[in-house]
């Protein structure tokens, strides 16, 4: 099967921590609305990219690149260093939380289950526009 590349424009977001609540003496859990909304956008972008193909059901490689905008307040020299990769975005959200949001959202859409991921590469970097690009391919 051919690789699937999913692109979602906008600021990269991490998976929010599940919240707990107490109701009637019972503890319940829920995913924050911001995370549910972001994962929904990921699924929609994935369905468009997959174009009706079935979810992968074999060992896969997962490659994620989270691209952050260069702060407008930076000098031209510093902006250029950021765009060439000399300066990396060491800021929130954490890379592992971005990956987790994407893994969970693509579960059952791009691949049957995230247990099929056998190789993973991920990075945060600066670019001209904020976006996340994920490629999933059989290995």
pLDDT in tens, 26-52: 888 777 788 888 999 999 999 999 988
pLDDT (0 to 100) of residue 1:
67
pLDDT in tens, 111-123: 999 999 999 999 9
For residue 139, count CB atoms less than 10 angstroms from its CB and return exposed for 0-12, middle for 13-18, buried for 19 or more: exposed
DSSP state, residue 93: S
């Amino acid at each position: 099967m051919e690789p699937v590349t999913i692109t979602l424009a906008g600021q990269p977001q991490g998976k929010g921590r599940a919240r707990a609540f107490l109701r009637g003496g019972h503890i319940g859990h829920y995913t924050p609305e911001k995370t549910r909304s972001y994962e929904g956008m990921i699924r929609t972008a994935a369905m468009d990219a997959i174009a009706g193909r079935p979810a992968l059901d074999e060992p896969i490689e997962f490659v994620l690149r989270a691209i952050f905008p260069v702060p407008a307040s930076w000098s031209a020299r510093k902006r250029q260093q950021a765009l060439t990769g000399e300066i990396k975005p060491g800021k929130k959200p954490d890379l592992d939380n971005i990956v987790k949001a994407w893994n969970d959202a693509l579960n059952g859409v791009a691949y049957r289950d995230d247990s099929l991921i056998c190789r993973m590469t991920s990075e945060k970097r600066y670019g001209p526009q904020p976006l996340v690009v994920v490629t999933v391919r059989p290995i």
